[in-house]
Amino acid sequence: MYASSKIFNEQVAIVTGAGQGIGFEIARQLCAQGASVVLNDVDEKLAKEAAAAIVKEGYTCMALPGDVSSPEFITTMVNETAAQFGKLTIAVANAGITLFGDFLDYPPESLYKVMQLNLGGSFLLAQATARQIIKQGSGGSILFMSSVTGHQAHKKLAAYGMTKAALEMLAKTLVVELSEHKISVNAIAPGATVTERTGDDPEYVPVWSRITPMGRPAQVQDIANAALFLVSPASRHITGQSLVVDGGWTSVSPSPY
């Protein structure tokens, strides 16, 4: 999408949950367009291998494994990023967890785990990033990763969908507090996307191809292209918005079940 422009030169980004899938592709594309990226994942081996793969392509990427549901780790990550690269200008809160379960039997421990990572981790990463950007006085971008389940009801995902809808409201709310500091805050709501995780299900691509108006589920590149746009200078007057990337599924919303 931005193959010849290098529009992220001199930008420094954190991408969480980026050991594979959508997060990895966002990190890789940011690096390819000139950014220095701190790649986070809770899986240390995965984070290091992912960062090494990007570095092997000739880009600047540093692995920083850790649990972004921990406020202490988030503070450490932001501080280490600023210390290593001199600043922080972009944060992509991609880390999240999906715990399926019927509403009537959903255990409190699952609810709190989903909320702590999906909501708490995203909220606190945005907070720590905003503080660092304000200190620099240079402006920047924050991007939340929502989901179509924050727009349309999806069986066994009451807790997950609730957190994703909340992230979109958080993006709107932060406009009031961060716009004066030239910080944009937006969200992406991906639909069905082929990743390492979903690729394990042989029915995933056929089912979602059948019920998606565009005839296929998304590839990680589709989501990363949208992410790069929303943290780039091309979207400098867009904030508080949520962009659905789902091949039209939310317009018709047939269930995959």
Across 215-240, average pLDDT: 97
The domain of 125 spans: 12-244
In a domain, 255, yes or no: no
- Domain assignment present for residue 213? The answer is yes
Asked whether residue 80 is domain-assigned, the answer is: yes
Q: What percent of the chain has pLDDT over 70?
A: 98
Q: Is residue 86 part of a domain?
A: yes
Residue 3 pLDDT greater than 50, yes or no:
no
Q: 117 lies in a domain?
A: yes
Render pLDDT for 156-172 as a digit per residue (tens, 0 to 9): 999 999 999 999 999 99
Each residue of 112-151: pLDDT tens digit?
A: 999 999 999 999 999 999 999 999 998 999 999 999 999 9
Q: What is the pTM of this model?
A: 0.95
98-106: long-range pairs with CB below 8 Å, 24+ = 98/157, 98/160, 99/159, 99/160, 100/156, 100/157, 100/160, 101/156, 101/159, 102/156, 103/158, 106/158, 106/159
Question: Does some domain include residue 2?
Answer: no
State whether residue 176 is helix, strand or coil: helix
Average pLDDT over residues 1-9: 68
Q: Looking at the domain assignment, is residue 199 inside a domain?
A: yes
Q: Is the pLDDT of residue 242 over 80?
A: yes
Mean pLDDT along residues 216-229:
97
Q: What is the pLDDT of residue 197?
A: 82
Mean pLDDT across 176-198: 95
Which residues are known to be catalytic?
Answer: 146, 160, 164
- How far is Cα 88 from Cα 30, in angstroms, rounded to an integer? 14
- Position 152 scores a pLDDT of 93
CATH code at position 223: 3.40.50.720
| CB 16, CB 93: distance < 8 Å | yes
Residues 44-64, mean pLDDT to the nearest whole number = 98
Identify whether 256 is part of a domain: no
Q: Rounded to an integer, what distance in angstroms lies between the CA atom of residue 61 and that of residue 54?
A: 7
The total number of structural domains in the chain stands at 1
Assign 244 a pLDDT band (cuts: 50, 70, 90): very high
